[in-house]
Amino acid sequence: MRNDLPELVFDISRNGRAAGTTITARMGDDVLAVDKFDIAKAKDRTSFVGSICKDLPGISGADVEKMLAKQAAEFASRESKRKEEPSELKPQELLAHMSQSDRGDARSMLESPDLMDKVIDDVAALGVAGERELVASVYLVGMSRLLRRPLAAIVQAPSSVGKSYTVGKVAELFPAEAVIHATSLTPQALFYMSPGTLSHRWVVAGERSRREDDESAEATRALREMISSGKLSKLIPMKVEGKYVTQTIDQLGPIAFIETTTLTKIFDEDANRCLLLSADERTQQTTAVVNRLATEYGGLANVNVDAIVQRHHAAQRMLQRRHVVVPFAERIAEHFPTGRVEARRAFPHLMGMIQSSALLHQLQRKIDGDGRIVASLVDYQLARSLTRGPLSRLLGGGISDAARRFHARVSDWAGDRFTTTEAANQDKKSPQTVRDWLRELAEAGAVEQVEPAKGNRPATWTLTEMSQSELAVGDCGLPETIE
């Protein structure tokens, strides 16, 4: 937010409290002050202006306070509109309620050749350190809600890695009418939602239960059906005028879906319907997260969160739901491995990611005579880079990134034999996480169990002759470009 005073800039954003805002005063690139208070209170504004004007000779405190009061009024007006947006309005109608500045910023972003990088950078500005591939993948999953066959994904990582935080920050960039946040889903929940509630929405679920038994499988059956077919139908007995009659409950989608889990092994019925994404558990990523937190706690983070969020909400409302064609799909099919039956689901995953990228870049893509978006080779290259790991795992040619990195670390220190406890202590990870990785590596043939666990004695393992190159993420035979 700029003003008439040379070089003086105020950034105003919500800080998450009921009546709180974060105000940053800058002179050019220099941060003069950062504070959190209720900007609607004149006394607080006066105190803040006084703290910065004492170091700005020749600048009138009254003029600065007047300017800040004006910007506070503009911010309050925008917040009021945001909270009062009627939920029944269509995205285009909601877009019309947004400021011209937000709409202009959104269009500029959507027309930028670096659009995907801008998305990733904006999520980083919201507090996510690193995880660029994960952020891009999650964003495109959310974007796919507008497709005829949206994507579904599960983010896997050990506890405390920050996978849910990353998903949550990406979801903040989507407006309320696009997202359904569901920390927990019961088996019957989807059936009894209001008709039309799920259509082309992004369902952001919570942490997946660690229970992987028949009861848990039944609990996710309706969700699997919605992801696969885009609709639900159920016959139930109901009492009408004193008599029981059978009625049909129909719930139409389709939905995009994402959840997180600490599990390394997921029901095949769920896993092959979803892209299995990985969060980074490595020490260098933890260092990056801690440094990012230190910046926030130290008051050095100079980010206008509200401007970022509003820009993306405007962009999502600006994007139209159109059919996307992939003119080079047959050429991709020629290279796609079909040795496993899972290829029947893996191929649509790749196509969905290509279509989602094209949909996001629709202002930069060709529209054919039938009003369809025509995907470009750039969309293929982005989709290939993001899905090469998940597709490799689905088609039986790879393991999770976390397990592969764990294998590399074990190879650096382990001798002929090592125990689960030694691996957990050496890697500074929980025994459960290490057991999950060892089980995954054992199934891939990278380690062998020499002695099983017994009582308080941990299992003993040995590394096989499988090399790191054999565990590396493959490309599923897909070339970098399609001629």
Tell me: the pLDDT tens digits for 82-115? 555 445 678 888 999 899 999 999 999 999 999 9
- Indicate whether 479 belongs to any domain: no
The span from the CA of 477 to the CA of 472, in Å, is: 14
Give the Cα-Cα-Cα angle 401, 402, 404 (nearest 5 degrees): 65
Number of folded domains that form the chain: 4
Three-state SS sequence of 237-280: EEEECCEEEEEEEEEECCEEEEEEECCCCCCHHHHCCCEEEECC
Q: What φ, ψ does residue 150 adopt, rounded to 5°?
A: -65, 170
pLDDT of residue 211: 61
Single-letter amino acid, residue 362: Q
How sure is the predictor about 140, in pLDDT bands with cuts at 50, 70 and 90?
Answer: very high
Last residue of a domain, one of 251, 283, 318: 318
> Which is higher by pLDDT, 239 or 290?
290
CATH label of the domain that carries residue 135:
3.40.50.300
pLDDT in tens, 360-406: 999 999 999 999 999 999 999 999 999 988 888 788 656 777 888 88
pLDDT at 286: 80
Residues 6+ apart with CB under 8 A from 20: 14, 36, 37, 38
Lowest mean pLDDT among 83-92, 218-227, 298-307: 83-92
- Residues 193 and 64 both lie in one domain: no
pLDDT confidence tier of residue 290, bands split at 50, 70 and 90: confident
Average pLDDT over residues 290-297: 79
What is the pLDDT at residue 348?
Answer: 94
Residue 244 lies in a domain: yes
CA distances from 393 to 122, 268, 290, 430 (A): 30, 12, 31, 24
Residues 343 and 412 in one domain: no
pLDDT of 401 reads 79
Strand partners, 457: 454
From 5, 21, 1, 29, select the one nearest 302 (Cα to Cα). 29
User: Residues near 194 by Cβ (< 8 Å), separated by ≥ 6?
Assistant: none
User: Domain range holding 227?
Assistant: 99-318
Q: Give the model's confidence band at 2: pLDDT under 50 very low, under 70 low, under 90 confident, else very high.
A: very low
What is d(CA 236, CA 238) in angstroms, rounded to the nearest whole number?
6
Q: Left, alpha or beta for 196 (phi > 0: left; psi -120 to 50: alpha)?
A: left
> Do 118 and 217 belong to one domain?
yes
Q: Does 89 fall in a domain?
A: no
Q: What is the pLDDT of residue 328?
A: 95
DSSP state of 2: B
* Strands annotated E in 382-427: 418-419
Structure tokens at 358: 């094209």
Residues 184 and 311 placed together within one structural domain of the fold: yes
Q: Tell me: the pLDDT tens digits for 145-173?
A: 999 999 999 998 887 788 888 999 999 99
Same domain, 143 and 239: yes
pLDDT above 60: residue 411: yes
Tokens of 400: 């999770």
Both tokens of 479, joined, read: 């070339």
* Among candidate residues 346, 348, 204, 164, the one with its CA nearest the CA of residue 271: 346
CA–CA–CA angle 440, 443, 448 (5° rounding): 95
For residue range 200-219, list pLDDT tens digits in order. 999 998 787 656 655 556 65
> What pLDDT shows up at residue 367?
96
| pTM, full prediction | 0.75
Q: Do residue 157 and residue 300 come from a single domain?
A: yes
Return the minimum-mean-pLDDT range out of 42-51, 313-322, 341-350, 389-398. Answer: 389-398
Report whether pLDDT(239) > 90: no
CATH number, domain containing residue 424: 1.10.10.10
- Say if residue 366 is in the same domain as residue 453: no
Decide which of 374, 394, 414 is a domain's last residue.
394
> For the chain, what percent of residues have pLDDT higher than 70?
86
Residue 150 to residue 353: CA distance in whole angstroms: 9
Final residue before a domain boundary, out of 23, 55, 84: 84
**282 pLDDT band (50/70/90 cuts)?**
confident
pLDDT for 79 = 66
Higher pLDDT, 98 or 5: 98
305 with 345, same domain?
Answer: no
Beta bridge partners of 233: 250
Given a cut of 50, whether residue 27 has pLDDT beyond it is yes
Q: Are residues 110 and 163 both part of a single domain?
A: yes
Residue 295 pLDDT > 50: yes
Report which secondary-structure segment, H or E, holds 179.
strand 179-182
pLDDT level of residue 5 (50, 70, 90 thresholds): low
State whether 355 and 409 are in the same domain.
Answer: no
Higher pLDDT, 190 or 388: 388
pLDDT of residue 303: 78
pLDDT attached to residue 11: 72
Co-location of 27 and 110 in the same domain: no
Rg of the Cα trace of the chain? 26
- CA-CA distance, 262 to 343, in Å (whole number)? 25
Q: What is the mean pLDDT of residues 336-345?
A: 86
Helix (H) or strand (E) holding 156: strand 152-156
Per-residue pLDDT of 438-483, as tens digits, reads 988 898 888 999 999 998 899 999 999 887 666 666 566 788 888 6
- The overall average pLDDT reported for the chain is 83
The Cα 152–Cα 140 span in angstroms is 10
Mean pLDDT, rounded, for 339-367: 94
Same domain, 185 and 76: no
